[in-house]
Structure 1
Amino acid sequence: MKPALSLYLDAVRFTAAMVVYLGHLALASEPSFVSPGFSATFSGLSACIDEAVIIFFVLSGFVIAHATAARPTTPEAYATARLARLYSVALPALLATLVLDMLGRAIAPAFYPPFAPQPFLGALLFLNQLWYIDVGAGSNGPYWSLNFEFWYYVLFGMILFLRGWQRVAAVLATLLVCGPQIALYSLLWFAGVGLHGLTQRLRLSQGLGLGLFLLGPVIFFLAVNHPVPGEAFMLDRLAWLLRDSNILHDSVIALAFGMHLLGCHSLAAWLEAPLSAIARPLRWLAGSTFTIYLFHMPLSRFLAAVLPTPPGPWSGPLLLALGFPLLLAIAAVTERRKQPWVRLFTAAFAPFRRPAQAAPVGGTNHLRPGQPPPGHAATG
């Protein structure tokens, strides 16, 4: 992967995480976060939270495709890498949500949903969005997307390592277990996989690349602010299947981001100098993306519970000033410390390891010597 594109992906995933974070803090419908001036300033971000998650899905498919194409891998190594990435942040986030919700509920019970232990077990196993279950883990609303993301890793692994009828049967069985919602949105995740393939094969002129780079955000803005043609018809006719999801709108968002990223790939030479100048802080901030995404809601709600009530103009800025440094500190012991999890899953898969079963995957590793591939986003 071109270094400039890698840095740009880091910038995109950090920006998307901050959109989700600030958008949630600005939600006027959240009684614990009411802050008139802050909400007015960032209300536009509140309208883009779902779109940011769609960007995470596309970006995740793109990065996983790159990671598996850059070097041969085995089923055990693939599973180890994906599970270590997930559980290094997901398990601490669930534990933190349990503890912070318990403490916060004792202080401000009105800020919290009723406690139920079962959703936490379901979240740990990524079962809470199968079919139409839609169960949240306490105050950690953003965790829902990991219940999609996990199954996309499973599907991609099956496609990567299985062959023939076994691949078809395994994929169909998994989609049947997941249900229509996860199955439909897998198209957006796999669009990221296809986008990675296009960047390896297409050679766009810089003029066309610039056009795509600029047109993508225009389409994104239009889709956020205006109904997509045919959207109401689809929602009306397929409400029994789609429920509260809007796959047509989200597909347009994915298309817009894909166009922008394809254009970015062709303009990498132009982006090299400005992005290289901020490479170190950018990579460091991007290394906190998953933690920001998964910890910000339980942490922010707890901070709101312990701060003086009722919330006022000061509460939004104060929640951000207290919460953001804490999230960066938490990232230092979660996603920046994946090696213990890698060792754990490596040991767990050791009895199944078959050294000769490296998957023949295509692609060329364009990373600089010693440069890590970009991490995947949270779904998220």
Structure 2
Amino acid sequence: MPFLLSQLIEAFRWMGALAVVGLHATNLFLNQADIMSASHAAPVYLWWFLTGFESGHQAVVGFFVLSGYLVGGAVLARIREPRPFLKDYYLHRFTRVYVVLIPTLLLTLLLDILGCHLFTSSALYEGAMFKGHYSGSLFFTSLLNLQGIYFEFFGTNGPLWSLACEFWYYITFPLLLMLFAKHYPSKIRLMSFTLGLLLFFFLLTPESWFGFGFLLWSMGAFATLIPRALLRSRILSLALLVCVLVIIRLLVRGPTIEACPLISRFADILAAGAFVNLLLTFRDGPKLGFRILESNKHKVFADFSFSLYAVHMPLLVFMRAAADQIFGERRVLQLAQLENYLLAIAVIFTVIFSAYIFSQLTEAKTFAARSRLKHFF
């Protein structure tokens, strides 16, 4: 992979995770109800713009496209190779997911139990958003990555729905392509394809994001087969993506979606297409330029972006409950003042630091766990 493309991907990984953290931190800690009715300083409007729902949502859309490009693209390449690959592929995917997922669910359980018992002044854990989410059965179904598809999420960790979708894309995508894997026996190919088809329609049955997300994920995967970008200038491609995201942020909002529900889907496909084009321009473009991407800091932050996404919500809820206990819910949810923004910033930095520590115990051990498992399989 070209160096600048790799750096672009690393940069997006950490910035996308940060966008999601910013969205959820804002929802929990900042009341911006007067953002359009009162005058504010420029940084307040910038915060509102960068942490709105569509900003976080488009980051998740980008994650789906990027995952498809990296994982699905690798499947498309390996399926044409003259040797079996499924065992090694699934070993890599399972370790990548479960080295982080299992500790994440345990941390969610711990934080939620502590939060419920320590911060009794806060009604957050017993509120409508999380009520009924603390059962052992939901812990188990989340271990199976069925949250957000067939079952509710466990505890306070709602964002794990997207991981469930991606996990099953990892499983079903290569199975659906097995008919083209000439180096496997015909019987294995047919059985694998049939299994993939049954799994796909089983997961498609409930109303969830699985089906549409698969379309976005597949856009990333099949983009690896496109010989060149439609818009070949890196500068123009980046400008196009930024313009698309700005327009979506400003126009794709509550009233617009209510008037035309499909516009949200169209916006997601448009953003995904612009992102795919940008990836292709960096894949095929010059090896130099974009000095901002040359910093090794992108990899440092990207290396724990999965952990940041996985654990940020229970951490945020825990700290919001603590804030309710210390300052009172009324003060936390007052129309946002400077003190509220300072608290939100402190919380975000605490979440980032905590996720980094968590990643050193989990995500950073993925290669070692994978090496150990190879001895058993």
Where does residue 247 of structure 1 map in the other structure? 265
SS of alignment partner, residue 327 of structure 2 = coil
1:264 is matched with 282
Q: Find the counterpart in structure 1 of residue 345 from structure 2.
A: 317
Inter-partner Cα distance in structure 2 for 1:235 and 1:165: 39
Question: CA offset at residue 67 of structure 1?
Answer: 4.0
The yes-or-no answer on 1:61 pairing with 2:68 is: yes
Q: Displacement of 1:169 after TM fit?
A: 2.4
Q: How far 1:153 sits from its partner (Å)?
A: 0.2
Q: 2:141, 2:151 within 8 Å by CA — same for their partners in 1?
A: no
- 2-structure distance, mates of 1:227, 1:22: 19
Tell me, yes or no, if the aligned pair for 1:128 and 1:134 is still in contact at 8 Å. Answer: yes
Q: Give the conservation status (yes or no) of the 8 Å contact 2:108–2:155.
A: yes
Q: Corresponding residue for 1:235?
A: 261
Which residue matches 2:183?
none
Aligned residue-pair number? 329
Gapped regions of structure 1 (runs ≥ 5) = 237-244, 351-380
The answer (yes or no) to whether the contact 2:111–2:318 under 8 Å persists in 1 is: yes
Match of residue 123 from structure 1: 142
Alpha-carbon distance change, 17 to 168 in structure 1, aligned in 2, over 3 angstroms:
same
Q: Counterpart of 1:174?
A: 199
- 1:75 Cα shift? 1.1
Shift of 1:79: 0.5
Displacement of 1:151:
0.7
Residue pairs, 1:286-365, within 5 angstroms: 286-307=302-323, 308-310=326-328, 311=332, 313=340, 314-343=342-371, 345-347=373-375, 350=377
Q: How far apart, CA to CA, are the structure 1 residues paired with 2:44 and 2:164? A: 29
User: Which amino acid in the other structure matches residue 6 of structure 2?
Assistant: S
Distance 1:334 1:188 in 2: 28
Change (3 A) 1:272 1:322: closer
Greater mean deviation of Cα atoms: 250-259 or 77-86: 250-259
What amino acid sits opposite 2:228 in the alignment? Answer: L
Task: State the partner residue of 1:193.
Answer: 221
Match of 2:163 among 132, 139, 146: 146
Q: Distance in 2 between matches of 1:161 and 1:172?
A: 11
CA distance in 2: counterparts of 1:339 and 1:15, whole angstroms: 24
Say which SS state the counterpart of residue 271 (structure 1) adopts: coil
Separation in 1, partners of 2:277, 2:193 = 30
Residue of structure 2 in register with 1:19 after alignment: 19
Q: 1:268 to 1:122 in 2, by over 3 A?
A: farther
Matched, 1:111 2:111: no
Does structure 2 conserve the Cα–Cα contact (< 8 Å) formed by 1:288 and 1:328? yes
**How far has the Cα of 1:219 moved from its partner?**
1.9
Q: 2:48 corresponds to which residue?
A: 43
Instruction: State how far apart, in whole Å, the 1-side matches of 2:84 and 2:264 are.
Output: 36
Q: Deviations along 1:263-304, whole A, 9 cap, x unmatched?
A: 33344434364423x1x2221111011011011111122223
Give a deviation string over 1:302-359, Cα, whole Å, max 9, x none. 22333422235242122123222121121111111113431454355x2xxxxxxxxx
1:217-232 mapped onto 2 (5 Å cutoff): 217-227=242-252
Q: Deviations over 1:108-152 (max 9, x none)?
A: 35121233222111111011233xx35111111111111101110
Unaligned runs of 5+ in 2: 33-39, 181-188, 333-338
Cα distance in 2, alignment partners of residues 346 and 82 from structure 1 = 13
- Write the deviation string for residues 235-259 of structure 1: whole angstroms up to 9, x where unpaired: 38xxxxxxxx953332222122222
Q: Which amino acid aligns with 1:123?
A: S
- Matched with 2:335 is none
Q: Cα offset for 1:66?
A: 4.6
- Cα 1:296–1:205 change in 2 (3 A) is closer
Q: Does the alignment pair 1:98 with 2:114?
A: no
Please tell me whether the aligned partners of residues 288 and 335 of structure 1 are also in contact (alpha carbons under 8 angstroms): yes
Paired-residue identity, %: 24
Counterpart of 1:121 in structure 2: which amino acid? F
Could you tell me which of 226, 230, 236 is aligned with 1:211? 236
- Cα separation, 1, equivalents of 2:348 and 2:231: 42
1:75 and 1:161 in contact (8 A); partners too: no
